[in-house]
Amino acid sequence: FDPPELHRGQLFVFEGIDRCGKSTQCENLKSSLEGVGRTVVLYSFPNRETAIGSVIDKYLKKEIDLPDQAIHLLFTANRWETMKDIQKMLLNGVTVIMDRYAYSGICYSVAKGTLSLLWCKAPDRGIIKPDCIFFLDLSPLKANRRAGYGEERYEVIEFQEKVRDQFLKIKDSSWKVINADKPTDDIAAEIYDHAVRVNNRKMKKLWI
Ligand code: FDM
Ligand code: MG
């Protein structure tokens, strides 16, 4: 008897404020894990390519406005719509890396000041629980000097401060906090060293 979970892939999540270096580090981890023979798939949330994602994209580009509740639920729906695929990959032994997940969902929405943490958490309850969460911590003042900052809806320093505070508030001891104010290669090495040691078997659901 060889349950599929025995050889399942691990789910790595990267979180942090805008321009903290998440996408770069997702790519770095992907290529270094591929370098040791793993099959790796990278997902970004929001996934702007789906029907739901195209509405989110318009909202972020300030082309449309939506109530805080409605956009929050769209971000959540955008995760739920890929859950089956992700589960299948993990059970097939594929390593999955995610650029943002439900924690961004909570922190950006709660930072608006109009929605409670409890309300924001509820719709993501039951999505696949990550095996490892990397929180790339960087001050918004440093992040805003990075290319392209300020184009999208949430890219405002005062708001990013609130988002960062929320991340620091909701993180628990299982999160791997990374000081993102360091050379890219040093960050990548720290992440890789941690990632290769993660090896969970049972697939769990978030917040259940
Ligand atoms: N964002 C992202 C949310 O507000 N909620 C979510 O659930 C997710 C996944 O969308 F400002 C915000 C975070 C960011 C914006 O994300 C677009 P990228 O990673 O910067 O494209
Ligand atoms: Mg962004």
Q: What is the ipTM of this complex?
A: 0.99
The distance between the two most distant Cα atoms of the chain, rounded to a whole number of Å, is 55
Q: How far is the CA of 202 from the centre of ligand 2 (A)?
A: 32
Which two tokens mark 90? 């993990």
Query: Which of 25, 27, 100 for a ligand 1 pocket mutation test, highest count of atoms within 8 Å of Cβ?
Result: 100
Q: What is the pLDDT of residue 7?
A: 87
Task: Look up residue 146 and give its DSSP letter.
Answer: S
Pocket test for ligand 1, best of 23, 104, 157, 158 (most atoms within 8 A of CB): 104
For a ligand 1 pocket test, name from 20, 22, 60 the mutation site with the most ligand atoms within 8 angstroms of its C-beta: 60
The pTM is what?
A: 0.97
pLDDT at 148 over 90: no
Residue 98 Cα, ligand 2 centroid: separation in angstroms?
14
148: Cβ contacts below 8 Å, ≥ 6 apart = 19
Put the strands of the sheet holding 95-99 in their side by side order: 40-44, 95-99, 11-15, 132-137, 176-179
Q: How many CB atoms lie within 10 A of CB 47?
A: 17
Residue position matching structure tokens 């050379």: 183
pLDDT digits over 36-77, tens only?
999 999 999 999 999 999 999 999 999 999 999 999 999 999
Q: What share of the chain is helix, strand, coil (3-state, %, to 5)?
A: 45, 15, 40
Locate tokens 């992440």: which residue? 191
Kindly report, residue by residue over 94-111, the tens digit of the pLDDT. Answer: 999 999 999 999 999 999
Residues with CB under 6 A from ligand 1: 18, 45-46, 60, 75, 100, 104-105, 108, 154
Mean pLDDT confidence for 10-30: 98
For 119, half-sphere exposure in the C-beta direction (CA atoms, 13 angstrom radius) is: 12
Task: List the one residue out of 130, 95, 86 whose CA is nearest residue 78.
Answer: 86
